[in-house]
Amino acid sequence: MYLALYRKYRPRTFNEVIGQDHIVKTLVNQIKLDKISHAYLFTGSRGTGKTSTAKIFARAINCQNPNNGSPCGECEVCKSLEGTNIDVLEIDAASNNGVDEIRDLREKVKYPPVVGNYKVYIIDEVHMLSSSAFNALLKTLEEPPKHTVFILATTEVHKLPATILSRCLRFDFKLVSLENLSKLLENVLKSENVKFDEQSINVIARAGEGSVRDTLSIADRCVSFAGDELTYSKVISVLGIAEREILINITNKLLAKQTGEVLVELDSVLSSGKSPLVFSNDLISYFRDLLLVYTLGDKSREIVVVKDDIYAEMKKQGIESNYTVIVKAIEILSGVEQELRYSAQPRIVLETALIKIINDSSIIDRIEKIEQELKNFPS
């Protein structure tokens, strides 16, 4: 049976957790100093390692011979905790969100662990618990048995009651950087004996938007399509992302206020099978990169991951562009994202947005021209 890449390469030790050094260092120090808290809150975007870190931590605090804070994976306790075990319980709050389930949990926490030092309860998507379930959990978090550790994981921390938050040691998981995702992809693809080029890796990592799980899932799709050789063109075909040359072309026409040409170019793009929503997001990403080129100059080369000839074109656009127009374009396209997602006529929504960018840029140019004339007007 085929195992998805994000499952196959799930981190097993703290050393394998990427992009969360601030969290890993704190947890490792707590294990080394034997200062284990009774309740932890892991919050952050999906795919950033909350559940994986929780499972590693659960095994590490029970391990008989921890290796630099990580579970050794060789002792009897580690082996017994590898599969399903009553000492480390993972609870999905989305499907077990009632007060009865939490009351049942409260009864079970009284019993000591079977093989390790701690009984660990990992409650995933904890924000899904009902108000009565939170109230039932509160008392247990307040006065838990010494052998019990709770790890609450959520993507929506703002939905948790303040009474719960105040009783947990909170860790905020960050989105993983493009550099770290690219390195991870390189290692994974080498392990899978898949050939690749740097451009294809960068596109997949960028599409993952800071999520390790999303990045590996996208890589899985691309490898299934490409076979044992991953190329930039194959990745573009799978993801339906507009190539940079197309984005440069349509941006040139937008900045030149060529309304008719922009609509013709858009028709060509959408006729090739690109989704209006996907193309709009591509444009937002492109304008964001253009903004970096405009504001940072040559320093932006470290952040904007494109081929040299594309970067040269973007620098040229940056010189000819207007900062306010670029920001306005990002605002307009971001503002219609939900409408594009649910509209019965997303093409019309995108066309209207592009025309609005042109009209607003014309107004901005006229205002700046008037301001300049006023400056030159003799007092």
Domain 178-239 in this protein, CATH class = mainly alpha
Q: Residue 170 has which token pair? A: 């909170």
In 3D space, the residue among 156, 198, 189, 207 whose CA is nearest the CA of residue 42 turns out to be 156
Query: pLDDT tens digits, residue range 201-245?
Result: 888 888 888 899 999 999 999 998 888 888 888 888 787 666 778
Asked if pLDDT for residue 379 goes beyond 60, the answer is: no
In terms of average pLDDT, the best of 107-111, 244-248, 328-332 is 328-332
Q: Could you give the percent of the chain with pLDDT greater than 90? A: 20
Q: How far apart are CA 186 and CA 182, in angstroms?
A: 6
pLDDT in the model for residue 183: 92
In 3D space, the residue among 175, 204, 149, 168 whose CA is nearest the CA of residue 45 turns out to be 175
Query: pLDDT tens digits, residue range 247-302?
Result: 888 988 888 888 999 999 899 888 877 888 888 988 998 889 888 888 888 888 77
* DSSP H or E segment with residue 321: none
Asked if pLDDT for residue 367 goes beyond 60, the answer is: yes
pLDDT in the model for residue 137: 82
Residue 247, C-beta contacts closer than 8 angstroms, at least 6 positions apart: 282, 283, 286
Asked if pLDDT for residue 351 goes beyond 90, the answer is: yes
Domain 244-375 has CATH 3.30.43.10: no
Residue 280, C-beta contacts closer than 8 angstroms, at least 6 positions apart: 333, 336, 337, 340, 350, 353
Q: How far apart are CA 341 and CA 84, in angstroms?
A: 40
pLDDT in the model for residue 188: 92
pLDDT in the model for residue 27: 93
Question: Phi and psi dihedrals of 42, rounded to 5?
Answer: -105, 115
* DSSP H or E segment with residue 158: none
Q: How far apart are CA 112 and CA 241, in angstroms?
A: 53
**Are the C-beta atoms of 157 and 43 separated by less than 8 Å?**
yes
Q: What's the rounded mean pLDDT across residues 108-130?
A: 84
Query: pLDDT tens digits, residue range 153-209?
Result: 998 899 888 988 888 899 999 988 888 999 999 999 999 898 988 888 888 888 888
* Distances 129 to 47, 51, 96, 150, 182 between C-alpha atoms, Å: 21, 17, 8, 15, 36
Q: How far apart are CA 134 and CA 162, in angstroms?
A: 11
The residue ranges of every structural domain in the chain are 5-173, 178-239, 244-375
Domain 5-173 has CATH 3.40.50.12280: no
* DSSP H or E segment with residue 117: none
* DSSP H or E segment with residue 169: strand 169-173
* DSSP H or E segment with residue 16: none
